Amino acid sequence: MIWALSTARSSGRTRPPRARKKKEDETPEKSRQRQALGVSRGGLSTKIHVLCEGEGKPMAVTLTPGQAHEATQATALLDQVKVKGKPGRPRQRFEAVAGDKGYDSEAIRDDLRERGTEPVIAHRKDRDGEYPERAEAFDKEKYRRRNVVERLIGRLKEFRGIATRYAKLAEGFIGLIRLAFMRIWMKDLLSDRA
């Protein structure tokens, strides 16, 4: 079974917040970090980093400000998942993990190999406009199955509170995302019993 990583963007508030009493020692940077808001080309936004299993069921989520890079969250997502199997402690080994070009780094590939997992991550072109030699061994068939995470993100965006981000703090927003995850899991589990 192949697992997939991806990132989605959620817009921040569309109007400025009302005036409140300023907290004593909180700078604007600390406030934005607590809210997981960052300024990118489209204004204030948050990135939702998602890991799902091969059938598109969500397994892990993290939030970062909008300008943060995807590759910073790959290890955090993989560490959140424990796979049960044989008796004993849960393991963190997956057959394969697919990611788009945003996760193209040797550090991430090495981390996946240390976990006993095959990395299926698309390569970026070099500065000369050519793909590196190691890209020839890239498994396109397994990479095609990465679309399950893109469909999951589409399902998440159907929830209006996630697509437009009504929650101010990151804690509340990630709680809404986890509620959506539970609803997706329940819908998939109960759809077999109709």
Residues 6+ apart with CB under 8 A from 62: 49, 73, 76, 77, 80
Question: Per-residue pLDDT for 157 more than 60?
Answer: yes
Q: Which of 22-31, 47-56, 91-100 has the highest mean pLDDT?
A: 47-56
- Of 135, 137, 169, 170, nearest in space to 17 by CA: 169
Query: Which residues lie across from 46 on neighbouring strands?
Result: 10, 65
CA angle 171, 173, 177 (to 5 degrees): 115
Q: Where are the alpha helices (DSSP H) in the chain?
A: 28-35, 74-80, 106-114, 140-144, 147-157, 160-163, 170-190
pLDDT at 165 > cutoff 70: yes
Q: Tokens 């005036």 correspond to what residue?
A: 19
Sequence spans of domains, the chain: 2-12+27-122+141-193
User: Quick one: 2-12+27-122+141-193 is in which CATH superfamily?
Assistant: Ribonuclease H-like superfamily/Ribonuclease H (3.30.420.10)
- Lowest-confidence region among 39-53, 102-116, 167-181: 39-53
Task: Return d(Cα 24, Cα 110) in angstroms, integer.
Answer: 43
Distance of CA 116 to the CA centre of its chain: 21
**pLDDT at residue number 182:** 92
Q: What is the pLDDT of residue 97?
A: 86
Highest mean pLDDT among 37-41, 64-68, 188-192: 64-68
Please state, rounded to an integer, the average pLDDT across all residues of the chain: 80
pLDDT, tens digit, 9 for 90 and up, residues 76-106:
988 888 777 777 776 667 788 888 888 888 8
Residue 125 neighbours by CB under 8 Å, 6+ apart: 131
